[in-house]
């Protein structure tokens, strides 16, 4: 059985192992509980008596006296405690979180968007390039085909981003959207795609630039919690409303959403400072800027120069899952996966990313290597070549070290001089789900 969203928030990181005891109720039951309204009689009593909140507290903690000397209280102590509980739940539900396919809070989820393929009935939207697979921490199994396409607004990605769109005028909310191919820019020309260059400053200028990191993402926080959506989709997202871009139709894409408590924003800001993202929409309240200095620098366009040229941090989600995030500057001047991720995780990697131009050369002296996927299959769809894929993902070659990474930088020589990174989780059921992707691999062990 799958654990409920509420239970997942309390689950320790080791529940990522699919062999652990299942907890909670089914997803349908979970949704029924979360959507259940407060019984009308309770609300009627509150409206009728209109007891001040201070009076509730006073009566709740007043010394107990013999019943014969106590006046009849129109609202019982149990009712008072229920009111406090409802207020607490209402406050908690207001915090930002990744959302599941039903629009309920979930600690993290992972997505694979299929490339355009002939419709074989395996997933809705396959022929239009809007078909995708979904998996979250509460669904400890294989990636499931989404019944709703990415154009639909009743699905996890849209539900997650809608939280920001609903509060975009609130200047107390921090947000940043960044993309090496930002929303509002023209899609790159063929020669730019092949060389992995992007248009500079979101303009129509023919010149190209590699000054910004090859990074894509959305982050928004209030003073309690927030989310980080890592993705590989060009020209996404729209800063004012949800829509899935045509630029994301043709090729395969990946996404990873994580829910964090506010203190983790400081470390996230440091990673952005190393990556130097191409920011096209942001708002950073002054109090958050003071509390997160590296984030403030990154939003202002500043970035890490000189040594160190990389940074690795552990980020703990709201429910206690530990993700490892890798960030490099352009001065790192090497492949992220070969020279940083594999040696840090102490495992060989299989990597799927956009690969054009010069391939990464073999370096036999390395203890751990990154190997390139040649073909991919997802669920019951037909196998397709890596040339139809624009994702940036990796997993360990060793199942005893079940690492899965989803990021925003490619494994190409042209990426040596670009900032960028990836986010990894050690998780057995996630590793098994992603291990099915890579059928043929160019091995360099």
Catalytic residues: 390
What whole-number distance in Å separates Cα of residue 267 and Cα of residue 264?
Answer: 6
Q: Are 144 and 134 in contact (CB under 8 A)?
A: yes
**Degrees (nearest 5) of the Cα angle 31, 35, 38?**
145
What whole-number distance in Å separates Cα of residue 374 and Cα of residue 370?
Answer: 13
Q: Where are the beta strands (DSSP E) in 19-172?
A: 98-99, 105-106, 108-113, 132-136, 144-145
Question: Which residues have CB under 8 Å from 381's CB, separation 6+?
Answer: 114, 117, 120, 122, 123, 126
- Cis ω before 373 (30° cut-off from 0): no
What whole-number distance in Å separates Cα of residue 209 and Cα of residue 214?
Answer: 11
b/e burial code for range 124-135 (CB count within 10 A of at least 16 → b): bbbeebbbbbbb
Question: Which residues have CB under 8 Å from 94's CB, separation 6+?
Answer: none
Q: At what angle do helices 77-93 and 53-61 cross, to 10 degrees?
A: 130
Q: Are 134 and 156 in contact (CB under 8 A)?
A: yes
Extract the tokens encoding 239.
């800063």
Task: Please classify residue 166 by burial: count the beta carbons closer than 10 Å to its beta carbon, then call 0-12 exposed, 13-18 middle and 19+ buried.
Answer: exposed
Extract the tokens encoding 189.
């020309």
What whole-number distance in Å separates Cα of residue 401 and Cα of residue 298?
Answer: 33
Question: Which residues have CB under 8 Å from 199's CB, separation 6+?
Answer: 181, 185, 186, 188, 192, 205, 208, 209
Question: Which residues have CB under 8 Å from 4's CB, separation 6+?
Answer: 23, 24, 25, 29, 30, 33, 138
Residue written as tokens 């871009």? 245
Question: Which residues have CB under 8 Å from 109's CB, separation 6+?
Answer: 98, 100, 134, 135, 136, 137, 156, 256, 257
């Amino acid at each position: 059985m799958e654990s409920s969203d509420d239970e997942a928030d309390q689950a320790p990181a080791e529940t990522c192992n699919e062999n652990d005891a299942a907890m909670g109720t089914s997803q349908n039951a979970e949704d029924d509980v979360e959507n259940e309204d407060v019984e009308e009689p309770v609300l009627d009593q509150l409206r009728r008596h209109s007891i001040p909140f201070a009076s509730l507290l006073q009566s709740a903690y007043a010394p107990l006296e013999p019943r014969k000397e106590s006046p009849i209280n129109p609202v019982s102590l149990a009712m008072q405690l229920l009111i406090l509980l409802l207020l607490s739940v209402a406050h908690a539900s207001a915090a930002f979180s990744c959302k599941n396919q039903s629009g309920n809070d979930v600690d993290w989820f992972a997505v694979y968007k299929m490339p355009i393929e002939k419709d074989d009935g395996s997933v809705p939207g396959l022929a239009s390039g809007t078909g995708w697979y979904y998996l979250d921490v509460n669904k400890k199994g294989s990636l499931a085909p989404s019944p709703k396409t990415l154009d639909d607004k009743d699905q996890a990605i849209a539900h997650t981003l809608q939280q920001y769109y609903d509060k975009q005028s609130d200047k107390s909310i921090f947000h940043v959207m960044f993309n090496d191919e930002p929303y509002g820019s023209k899609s790159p020309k063929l020669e730019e795609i092949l060389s992995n260059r992007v248009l500079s400053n979101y303009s129509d200028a023919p010149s190209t630039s590699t000054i910004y990191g090859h990074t894509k993402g959305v982050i928004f926080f209030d003073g309690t919690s927030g989310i980080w959506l890592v993705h590989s989709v060009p020209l996404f997202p729209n800063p004012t409303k949800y829509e899935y871009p045509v630029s994301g139709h043709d090729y395969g894409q990946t996404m990873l959403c994580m829910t964090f408590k506010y203190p983790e924003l400081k470390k996230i800001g440091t990673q952005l400072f190393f990556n130097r993202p191409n920011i096209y929409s942001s708002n950073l309240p002054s109090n958050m800027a003071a509390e997160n200095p590296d984030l403030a620098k990154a939003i202002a366009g500043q970035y890490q120069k000189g040594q160190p040229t990389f940074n690795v941090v552990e980020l703990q989600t709201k429910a206690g899952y530990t993700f490892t995030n890798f960030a490099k500057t352009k001065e790192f001047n090497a492949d992220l996966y070969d020279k940083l991720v594999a040696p840090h995780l102490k495992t060989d990697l299989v990597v799927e990313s956009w690969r054009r131009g010069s391939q990464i050369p073999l370096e036999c002296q390395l203890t751990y290597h990154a190997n390139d996927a040649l073909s991919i299959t997802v669920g019951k769809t037909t196998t397709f070549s890596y040339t139809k894929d624009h994702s940036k993902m990796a997993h360990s070659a060793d199942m005893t070290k079940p690492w899965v990474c989803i990021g925003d930088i490619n494994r190409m020589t042209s990426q040596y001089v670009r900032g960028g990174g990836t986010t990894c989780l050690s998780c057995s059921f996630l590793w098994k789900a992603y291990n099915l992707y890579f059928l043929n691999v160019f091995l360099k062990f």
